[in-house]
Structure 1
Amino acid sequence: MRLLRGLLLLLFPVFWAADARKDEGRSGRWMRGRGRARAVKRFAADCKESSANGEKYLDCQERQLKAVTLGWPEDIDHLLLARNRIQVLRDNTFSNFRNLRSLDLQQNEISRIEENAFSGLSKLTTLLLQHNHLQVVIEDVLIPMPQLRYLRIHDNPWRCDCQLDSLVRFIQVPSNRHFGNYAKCAEPTAFWGSKLKKLDVDQLCIPQQEKVEIPQTEHEKLPAPIKQSDASTLCHTYMHPVPHLDCRNRELKTVPADIPLDIVRLDLSKNNIKQLRPKEFVTVKDLKLLNLSGNSLERIDTAAFAGLLYLNELDLSNNSLKNFQYGVLEDLYFLKRLSLGNNPWICDYNIHYLIYWLKHHRGVYHTGLVCGEPEEFRGWSVEDYVKTYNGECPKDLQFGQTADPAGITAQELTAETEEEELGPIPYRGPKKYEIIRLT
């Protein structure tokens, strides 16, 4: 019995050590697994994941990324990769993101897209590739995206020759009206500055020397034409949750030309625009929000907002506005919010139009309408000033009221006056005048 007890005591440490090693192995594997899980989460945390209106967004903008990497959630609807350092889109780069509806790749360094780069994106409707280094893309690249509705490719140095033939033909199909708008040729010289949408495709495969005479300075770039600021080049386009053009802080002196027709929100704040001329926004018929705050805006011409039938919100704060010309706001039928703060409003007769318009559009919520001049009214609300202005009118003595058959109310007022300076003394005397004022 003693011998058996001794053997058990000797074997117990052996079994205990084996179990300990097993537990350590399991623990090590668990810890390594946890380490990998944390690494993925930590990597994914570099991007911001959010939801809006039941759709998932992954914001990986401005992360110095050179490629799409593993570990990102694959059930997202919108992937934002703008302002990174991606140079090449390789085959099957996005094949795991089969729910994607929009892909934003603008402002990278993309110079090459392999044929199957967009494989698997059968639900994609919006692809943003503007502001990159693309020279040639073939139509086959777009075949995996049958639902594509918006394709932005402007501000790329497109080489308009036979290699671009299929892409140009594709974007010129009438049903693709939101494909390749504003994209222009950078070379050869014969096509420099021509829009891809309007190119004669049959000329692309003809050698250049057969089409035009090459200028003597063929190796020099043509000077840039003098024109209005181009929205497609200067501003950033976003398509979700609504089409949005961001032109903030671009040192603009005029409203940029070629604003995309489908834009719903336009931000022109913090620029140097001093005047809005007639019909500046007439082509942007779907615009609902217009931000012009923080400019040097001094004058808004009548009909400047012509065509903006659906505008809901207008921000004119932090400018140099003193009054509105008559009729400036007449085109804004559905305006709901008007921001007017931090403008040097002059409280005189010229400010009355603005109050008159607001009085007849009671559904418009407005802020910041405060007198800046003259000094006696500084700090007053403009509405209070207008009430005071009307209150200073002399009150006539009422002696009776009558109504004509048309229903016009007439006030008969009698006043006596002596004509001291007219005629000789015998003809001087009190005379009665009947004054009728129609109201």
Structure 2
Amino acid sequence: MRLLCGLLLLCLVVWAAEARKGGRARRVRSRDHTTKRFAADCKETLVNGEKYFDCQERHLTAVLLGWPEDIHHLLLARNRIQVLRDNTFSHFRNLKSLDLQQNEISRIDDGAFDGLSKLTTLLLQHNRLQVASEGMLIPMPQLKYLRLHDNPWRCDCQLDSLVRFIQVPSNRNIGNYARCAEPREFSGRQLKKLDAEMLCSPEQEKEAILDPENQQLPAPQKKSDATSLCHTYMHPVPRMDCRNRDLKTVPADIPLDIVKLDLSRNTIKQLRQKEFVNVKELKLLNLSGNSLESIDTAAFTGLLYLGELDLSNNSLRYFQYGVLEDLYFLKRLSLGDNPWICDYNIHYLIYWLKHHPDVSHTGLVCSEPEEFRGWPVENYVKTYNAECPKDKQLGNLPDTDLAGNTPLELTAEIDEEEGPRPYRGHKKFEIIRLN
């Protein structure tokens, strides 16, 4: 009987051990399965009632299974996707924007965007697309913004339908800035302005146009503009990233709807007049880490809604009078790490800040002259008129008469030392000497 009880007890112990091992194995498998399913480590966020699914920079080569289907914005920028096949996004029926820029996409099937009837924004810039047709856009009747620039487009008959679609007058935000890469005679030309009739003409008729002397004209040179040098993002707000692009001037053709513009860490030395006049929606402008030495009085013309301006880490010494006059809604101004000179020229900046008390500013410190180095500029300006010259001289006047009156000649000299006064015409003086 004891032997039987011992055997039974031993069986129970072995069974319990196996059960524990099995449980651990199941949990490990469960963890492995979860890790595999969410290997991309994407993030889902809710902004103003709309769902954003951020899968940027995850080394993805395709859209994975298991992603939430009720999202409104899908961010897939900076991955390694090469091909978009039919029905890739068909289960995202609520999608309003799709960001696929900075991938390696070289082919898009006509049915890749099937099911995206609510999509309004599609970003395909900075990829490897050479050919595409209007057919891929048919499933997106509400499409308003389509970015196609910085792709090596081959402008021939296969691109005919897409070019004609882009050039429809109502599609003013479709395919802006996209340019031909080949053939040579079309290289650098914008798809928006290309003569679509020439795309499917016989090859011999499509040879380079000759000038009156029968010399072949050089192919148009591609202009270094913002769209080819910088990266544009549409959500949550339109912004352009031009950091560290070795820019020597503000780039041309900044998209009109940009709200945030980052031009930091370049070599821009001067801001000319009306540099940003067309970017009327701009609210944040970062120009830090450049070599800015001067800013034209009209450089910020048109930036009525600019709220934040970063001019730190430049070579600015003072502002010309009127530079900040158009910035009615400015709230933050960064001015640090500039060699500000504390003399009369710096007074405009302090005057403007004094009359705009809601503007938060930082980094306004004297660099020259030596006696004021390290002083806050506001403190320097306070000492500039701390003692009135007239008061100092009146306190030490010699040779008063018996009644304590000051000679008229001296009074006139002191008045003249106060500085220029508005012209009021000639006055006649009669000098009377009292005994």
1:231 matched residue in structure 2: 226
Following the alignment from structure 1 to structure 2, what is the Cα–Cα distance between the partners of residues 159 and 146? 26
Alignment of 1:170-185 (within 5 A): 170-185=165-180
Following the alignment from structure 1 to structure 2, what is the Cα–Cα distance between the partners of residues 354 and 116? 58
1:81 matched residue in structure 2: 76
Q: Does 1:416 align with 2:408?
A: yes
Residues 173-232 of structure 1 show CA distances to partners (whole Å, capped at 9, x for unaligned) of 2221111110011122222111111112222211242144478xxxxxx777385x3111
1:287 to partner: Cα distance: 0.7
Against the structure 1 CA distance between its residues 33 and 100, is the aligned structure 2 distance closer, same or farther, given a 3 Å change threshold?
farther
Residues 345-378 of structure 1 show CA distances to partners (whole Å, capped at 9, x for unaligned) of 1000001111122222222222211111111111
Q: Does 1:308 align with 2:300?
A: no
Q: Does 1:199 align with 2:191?
A: no
Residues 24-72 of structure 1 show CA distances to partners (whole Å, capped at 9, x for unaligned) of 9x97997588357523554242x23333333322222222222112122
Q: Which amino acid aligns with 2:204?
A: Q
1:324 matched residue in structure 2: 319
Q: Does 1:39 align with 2:35?
A: yes
Q: Does 1:122 align with 2:150?
A: no
Alpha-carbon RMSD across the aligned residues, in angstroms, is 3.4
1:392 to partner: Cα distance: 3.7
Question: SS state of the match for residue 333, structure 2?
Answer: strand
- Equivalent pairs counted in the alignment come to 392
Following the alignment from structure 1 to structure 2, what is the Cα–Cα distance between the partners of residues 251 and 388? 42
* Structure 1 gaps, min length 5: 1-8, 216-221, 400-412, 420-429, 434-439
1:134 matched residue in structure 2: 129
1:118 to partner: Cα distance: 0.9
Against the structure 1 CA distance between its residues 414 and 281, is the aligned structure 2 distance closer, same or farther, given a 3 Å change threshold?
farther
1:289 matched residue in structure 2: 284
Asked if 1 retains the 8 angstrom alpha-carbon contact of 2:231 and 2:240, the reply is yes
* Structure 2 gaps, min length 5: 211-217, 395-404, 412-429
Question: SS state of the match for residue 167, structure 1?
Answer: helix
Q: Which amino acid aligns with 1:327?
A: G
Following the alignment from structure 1 to structure 2, what is the Cα–Cα distance between the partners of residues 28 and 120? 43
Following the alignment from structure 2 to structure 1, what is the Cα–Cα distance between the partners of residues 338 and 179? 40
Following the alignment from structure 1 to structure 2, what is the Cα–Cα distance between the partners of residues 226 and 144? 33
Asked if 2 retains the 8 angstrom alpha-carbon contact of 1:264 and 1:287, the reply is yes
1:94 to partner: Cα distance: 1.1
Following the alignment from structure 1 to structure 2, what is the Cα–Cα distance between the partners of residues 32 and 334? 57
Following the alignment from structure 1 to structure 2, what is the Cα–Cα distance between the partners of residues 190 and 230? 21
Against the structure 1 CA distance between its residues 280 and 418, is the aligned structure 2 distance closer, same or farther, given a 3 Å change threshold?
closer
Alignment of 1:28-427 (within 5 A): 34-35=30-31, 37-45=33-41, 47-213=42-208, 225=221, 229-396=224-391, 415-417=407-409
Question: SS state of the match for residue 43, structure 1?
Answer: coil
Against the structure 1 CA distance between its residues 214 and 380, is the aligned structure 2 distance closer, same or farther, given a 3 Å change threshold?
same
Following the alignment from structure 2 to structure 1, what is the Cα–Cα distance between the partners of residues 193 and 220? 19
1:84 to partner: Cα distance: 1.6
Question: SS state of the match for residue 71, structure 2?
Answer: coil
Question: SS state of the match for residue 39, structure 2?
Answer: helix
Asked if 2 retains the 8 angstrom alpha-carbon contact of 1:289 and 1:313, the reply is yes
Q: Which amino acid aligns with 2:199?
A: L
Residues 157-184 of structure 1 show CA distances to partners (whole Å, capped at 9, x for unaligned) of 1111221111111111222111111001
1:410 matched residue in structure 2: none
Question: SS state of the match for residue 185, structure 2?
Answer: helix
Question: SS state of the match for residue 409, structure 2?
Answer: strand
Asked if 2 retains the 8 angstrom alpha-carbon contact of 1:415 and 1:432, the reply is no
Following the alignment from structure 1 to structure 2, what is the Cα–Cα distance between the partners of residues 92 and 311? 42
Asked if 1 retains the 8 angstrom alpha-carbon contact of 2:264 and 2:287, the reply is yes
Following the alignment from structure 1 to structure 2, what is the Cα–Cα distance between the partners of residues 250 and 90? 34
Asked if 1 retains the 8 angstrom alpha-carbon contact of 2:121 and 2:144, the reply is yes
Following the alignment from structure 2 to structure 1, what is the Cα–Cα distance between the partners of residues 432 and 60? 92
Residues 89-113 of structure 1 show CA distances to partners (whole Å, capped at 9, x for unaligned) of 0011111222222211111111110
Q: Which amino acid aligns with 2:193?
A: K
Question: SS state of the match for residue 38, structure 1?
Answer: helix
Q: Which amino acid aligns with 2:238?
A: P
Q: Which amino acid aligns with 2:323?
A: V
Asked if 1 retains the 8 angstrom alpha-carbon contact of 2:184 and 2:219, the reply is no
1:267 to partner: Cα distance: 0.5
Asked if 1 retains the 8 angstrom alpha-carbon contact of 2:156 and 2:199, the reply is yes
Following the alignment from structure 2 to structure 1, what is the Cα–Cα distance between the partners of residues 269 and 70? 46
Q: Which moved more, 1:254-263 or 1:72-81?
A: 72-81
Question: SS state of the match for residue 202, structure 1?
Answer: helix
1:292 to partner: Cα distance: 0.5
Question: SS state of the match for residue 66, structure 1?
Answer: coil
2:418 matched residue in structure 1: none
TM-score when normalising by structure 1: 0.80
Alignment of 1:424-439 (within 5 A): 431=431
1:415 to partner: Cα distance: 4.9
Identity %: 73
Following the alignment from structure 2 to structure 1, what is the Cα–Cα distance between the partners of residues 432 and 232? 74
Q: Which amino acid aligns with 1:67?
A: A
Following the alignment from structure 1 to structure 2, what is the Cα–Cα distance between the partners of residues 305 and 67? 43
